[in-house]
Structures are given as C-alpha cells and as structure tokens.
Amino acid sequence: MNAPIDAGQLGKTAVLMGGSSAEREVSLMSGTGVLRALQSQGVQAYAFDPAARDLADLRREGFARAFIALHGRHGEDGCVQGALELLGIPYTGSGVLASALCMDKTMTKRVFAAEGLPTPRWLRLGAHEQTRERIRTVPDDLGLPLVAKPPREGSSIGITKVEGYSDMAEAVALATRYDPDVLFEEFIEGEEVTCPVLGAGTGAQALPVIRICAPEGNYDYQHKYFTDDTAYLCPSGLPPDEEREIQRIVLAAYRALGCRGWGRADLMVRASGRRPFLLEMNTSPGMTGHSLVPMSARAAGISYEQLCLRLLSQAMLDSDAARLAD
C-alpha cells in the first residue's frame, strides 16, 4: 500500500497547460482538471501557460515542482522537460530522452522492432521522398486499407484511413500540414484498446485495459474529447488471458522506452487471431473528463485527485531518476 502523501511537503507547484501545439485546447482542459484536483488536496498549485510566459519565471517565482499537463510539441517531446532540467525544477512524467522517443512514432516503432514487440507494419516517407510515384506505391508495400499520419502529433490529429490508391494524395496533404514526414501504417482490423502504466522500472504497474468502441470505428479528435458517442469499457470485457497479454507487452514497451511516472499505450487487437499490436506510447496523457488514464485508475481504486497527487509526488529530474536506478 502506498504511504499517505503530505501535500504540504510538495511545495509551490506549477501546472503547465496550454502551450503552442495543435493540442492546446485539450491541454487547457487537462490542466484545469489537474489544477482543481491538486488544490482540493491542499497543494499550493497555480496555472502556468508556457505560450504566454517565460519558463524562467518558474525559478524566479520560487516554484518547487511542475505538473506537465501539456500535450504534443514543445510539451510532450522532451523540449519542456529539457528546460526544466536546466532550471532544476522536478517535473512529472518521463524524462528528456523517453519523451522525445515516444513523441516520434517512427522512433517508437524502431524501439518496438528492436525489442521484438508487436507493431503494425509501417514505412516513413521524408519530405524529399514524397513524390507522386512513391506515394502511389505505398499501398503495394502495406496493402489496403492503411493509415497515414504525422509521426510527431497526437490526439488523432492529421490521421487518415486510406481505403484506395486515389485517397493517398489527400491523406499525405493532411498529414504534412502538421509534420514534414508522413508515417504509413498497416491497418489492423479489430478492436482498439488502451492501457495506462504508473511508476518506473521494475516497479511500474499496468492499470486495467480499456476497450474503445467508437461510432463506426472512427475514434477521431472530435470523438475523443467533445462527444459522448464513444463507449469506453473498463473492465474491458476481454478474456483475462488477452488482458494480461496486453498488459505484459505494454509494460515491456514502457520499460524499453525508458518511461517513468506514467504513460498510456494505444493498441489494436486483430480480430483474426486476437493478437495485440502496439501503436504508440503517450507520455503526457490527457486528464480531461473524457480521458482514459483517470478512468482506468478509478477501476483500480485510485480517484482522480489521488492520481494527480501521486503523479506530482513522483516528480523528479533525470539526474534523480538515474540515482534511483543505481
């Protein structure tokens, strides 16, 4: 059992929210929820938007730690983590390297492949490779349907399910609005699931799996955050051996990527054969009213407020994490 957390010992806390990424709106919702939860637990917490203020103000104003509720570029990709390292202000979640790796889905997949973890077949086209001829041949490599996405965005932004050759140009145009590269991925026909993780290293714990049932399988940005049309099943209703296998590979991926604090892996379970495939690892998951980590934590007996307090209490710098690992 975890020891009680003394909120008074956590010091002045900045909840970093907003930022400049395409996920700013979601980040503001996440951050507002976290801020209220921490304040309700007696934490001296304040909102801080890096898009409006200089991060150096954190040190000037005596902040002792930071809860990162930023999503996407400059918040989830190692940039703000690096700045906080330089400022010497402990922060929630993964460190610089793990954050950068997980934000780039191409690099994440390379780690999955190196570790022998299941992930859909894929290929990446850099800006110089995106000729009309090469784009048209991608379905020959991966089959149809396939998925096209910007490799360094989240929240399903810029993603297209490509059904035919004639859809390829439009899918690339949408993805390149957000990233010069495009990641193409084999489409896995089946069920979408997600599995959060708390902790670090051998002490990391996989939380209950959530099964996602979106209208016509379309789990896009709108259905993630702004409608109630998507059903989230937790308990998942999956056979126990399937749930355990999902948790096993998620923990293996989390550890291989060097994550700490918390994270959430998204997967597809292929209908034929029931094999799970890792899609990505999120190192700063959403904390909105529709978000999945709080839902899974509740199923494990952890309230939203307790979750926020627990994550904040584990805030650290990379140097602290290295000492604990020794």
Whether 193 and 164 share a structural domain? no
Question: For position 172, which CATH number holds?
Answer: 3.30.1490.20
Residues 320 and 194 in one domain: yes
Give, for all 326 residues of the chain, the pLDDT tens digit: 467 899 989 999 999 999 998 889 999 999 999 999 999 999 999 999 999 999 999 999 999 999 999 998 899 999 999 999 999 999 999 999 999 999 999 999 999 999 999 999 999 999 999 999 999 999 999 999 999 999 988 767 899 999 999 999 999 999 999 999 999 999 999 999 999 999 999 999 999 999 999 876 554 444 444 456 789 999 999 999 999 999 999 999 999 999 999 999 999 999 999 999 999 999 999 998 789 999 999 999 999 999 999 999 999 999 888 777 65
Residues of the domain holding 19: 7-92
Residue partners of 155: CB distance under 8 A and separation at least 6: 22, 23, 26, 71, 72, 221, 224, 225, 286
pTM, two decimal places = 0.92
Distance (Å) of CA 53 to CA 48, 50, 92:
7, 5, 20
Whether 133 is catalytic is no
Q: Is 282 a catalytic residue?
A: yes
Distance CA 162, CA 147 (A): 6
From the candidates 21, 30, 236, 282, which is the catalytic residue?
Answer: 282
Query: Which of residues 149, 171, 186 is at a domain's end?
Result: 186
Do residues 243 and 138 share a domain? no
Would 14 be classed as within a structural domain? yes
User: Is residue 32 in a domain?
Assistant: yes
244 and 153 belong to one structural domain = no
2 falls within a domain = no
CATH number at residue 66: 3.40.50.20
Provide the domain count of the chain: 3
Q: Which two tokens stand for residue 112?
A: 């999955």
Task: Please indicate, yes or no, if residue 1 is contained in any of the structural domains.
Answer: no
pLDDT of residue 207: 98
Q: Which of 91, 264, 284, 313 is catalytic?
A: 264
Q: Which of 266, 284, 291, 313 is catalytic?
A: 266
pLDDT of residue 157: 85
My answer on whether 142 and 72 are in the same domain is: no
Q: Do 245 and 296 sit in the same domain of this protein?
A: yes
The catalytic position among 261, 286, 296, 318 is 286
